[in-house]
Structure 1
Amino acid sequence: MIEFKQVEKKYANGTTALKNINLSIEQGEFVAIIGLSGAGKSTLIRCINRMHEITGGRLHVDGVDVGKLKGGQVRRFRRRIGMIFQSFNLVTRTSVIKNVLVSFVPDLPLWRKLTGIFTKDHKIKALEALDKVGILDKAYIRVDQLSGGQQQRVALARTLAQNPDIILADEPIASLDPVTSRMVMDDFKRINQEMNISVIMNIHHVEVALEYADRIIGIRQGEVVFDGEASGVTAAVLGEIYGGRFEEEMSVQAEAGIAYV
């Protein structure tokens, strides 16, 4: 379980990104976080794995007070949480399998880190992760020879290889075309259902969020203004989340070439 208890986040320049966040997310949920750009969506999910420090309240993951973790405790804690970025964060000039094997590096003895030699078990786990996202046949191809959608699936396989309890996804389909977006979202949904991994996704594509997520959290100016089932999201709810700027936001997305059809 992930529990936000009156969580606040203020940046050094005085900007308040989150205020009075109270949420409970159970293991195995598929949650989409929606709202205008700058509403605090990315900040919310990045607080879960301590990429951002909260400045008020408490944040617990399976009973662990995330804010009290230090040094090696933070690194070990993050092993349980996979993170998927819009930009993929892959080493494009090397092979797909080597990018997946990177997930094991934090647990390797120093000599293996220096030599880049992985065990047979590590390689098998990496190949199994690639198989789960349907790109096992690309294992020994250089990443820069793959499409954007395939690269995002490599990133997902790398996350799966670390056997996480939670996957955080920060705009994972923002740079993908509609057909590829659906394929990647199908992967997220299947992994969520078959492996009982919690998926918490920050996403601009409202239609996609409503189709794939079980639960929608709407953020407006750093506050939760809606928290409920996807089926409960109405035009009025979207108006509350987007402050009457929903159509404007969709137009911006369309002009940016990220509209989902």
Structure 2
Amino acid sequence: MIEFINVEKVYPNGTKALENINLKIDQGEFVAVIGLSGAGKSTLIRCINRMHDITDGKLYVDETNVSNLKGKQIRRFRRRIGMIFQSFNLVTRTTVLKNVLVSFVPDNPLWRKITGLYTQEQKRKALEALDKVGILDKAYVRVDQLSGGQQQRVALARTLAQNPDIILADEPIASLDPVTSKLVMDDFKRINQELNISVIMNIHHVEVALEYADRIIGIRKGEVVFDGESAKVTDEILHEIYSGNIEELKAALEESHAHV
């Protein structure tokens, strides 16, 4: 379980990114975080794995106070939390399989890190992860020969190989075409349901969020202005989340129509 208690985040330049955040997210939930650009969506999910430190309040993941972790504790903690970025973060000049095997590097002894050698068990787990996202046949293909959607699935497989409890996704379909976006979102939904992995996704496409997520968290100016079931999101609620910025709301909805 993830729990935010009166969490605030203020950047060194004085910008208040999060204010008075109180949330509980249970294991196995699929949560979409929506809102205007700059509302604090990315900051919210990046606090969960300590990519950003909170300024005030408390943040717990399974009763662990995230702010208290130091050094190796943070690295161990992050093993349980997968992170998917819009930019994929892959090494494009090497094979798909090698990119997935990278997830095992933190656990390997120094000699394996230096030689780049992995165990048979690690290779098996990497291939299983590729199979789960439907690209096992691309295992020995160089990443730079793949489409954007295939690359995002490699990133997802790399995350699955580390056997996480939670997957954080920061705009995972922002740079993908509509057909590929649907395939990637289907992967997230299937993984969430079959493996009971919590998915917390920052997403710009409103209708995609409503279609795939069980729960919507609406952020406006760093504060939660809506938290509830996707089915209960009305036009009035969307107007409140988007703070009367009709143009950005229309753009998000239009992009969504293109992606569903």
- Report what 2:56 is aligned to: 56
Shift of 1:27: 0.1
Please list every run of at least 4 consecutive aligned residues from structure 1 whose deviation after the TM superposition is greater than 2 angstroms: 246-255, 257-261
> Is 1:74 matched with 2:68?
no
Distance 1:55 1:169 in 2: 22
- Report what 1:93 is aligned to: 93
> Is 1:41 matched with 2:41?
yes
Distance 1:252 1:62 in 2: 34
| 1:127-173 deviations in Å (ceiling 9; x for gaps) | 00000000000000000000000000000000000000000000000
| 1:148-199 deviations in Å (ceiling 9; x for gaps) | 0000000000000000000000000000001000000000000000000000
Distance 1:185 1:103 in 2: 22
Call closer, same or farther: CA 1:96–1:104 in 2, change over 3 Å.
Answer: same
Shift of 1:254: 5.8
Tell me if structure 2 keeps the 8 A contact 1:250–1:259. Answer: no
- Report what 2:218 is aligned to: 218
Shift of 1:259: 4.7
Gaps of 5+ in 1: none
> Is 1:103 matched with 2:85?
no
- Report what 2:184 is aligned to: 184
- Report what 2:3 is aligned to: 3
Gaps of 5+ in 2: none
**What SS is found at the alignment partner of 1:204?**
coil
Tell me if structure 1 keeps the 8 A contact 2:207–2:253. Answer: no
Tell me if structure 1 keeps the 8 A contact 2:206–2:253. Answer: no
Distance 1:258 1:80 in 2: 34
Tell me if structure 1 keeps the 8 A contact 2:7–2:18. Answer: yes
| 1:223-250 deviations in Å (ceiling 9; x for gaps) | 0000000000000000000011144343
- Report what 2:25 is aligned to: 25
Distance 1:248 1:229 in 2: 22
Distance 1:79 1:259 in 2: 35
Distance 2:153 2:219 in 1: 27
Distance 1:74 1:154 in 2: 24
- Report what 1:200 is aligned to: 200
Shift of 1:253: 8.1
| 1:97-129 deviations in Å (ceiling 9; x for gaps) | 000000000000000000000000000000000
Q: Which amino acid aligns with 1:90?
A: L
Tell me if structure 2 keeps the 8 A contact 1:174–1:258. Answer: no
- Report what 1:228 is aligned to: 228
Q: Quote the RMSD (CA, aligned, Å).
A: 1.4
- Report what 2:127 is aligned to: 127
Task: Name the TM-score, length of structure 1 as normaliser.
Answer: 0.97
Task: Name the TM-score, length of structure 2 as normaliser.
Answer: 0.97
Q: Which amino acid aligns with 1:196?
A: N
Aligned pairs (5 A) from 1:222-261: 222-251=222-251, 259-261=258-260
Distance 2:21 2:122 in 1: 39
Kindly, what percent of the aligned residue pairs are identical?
79
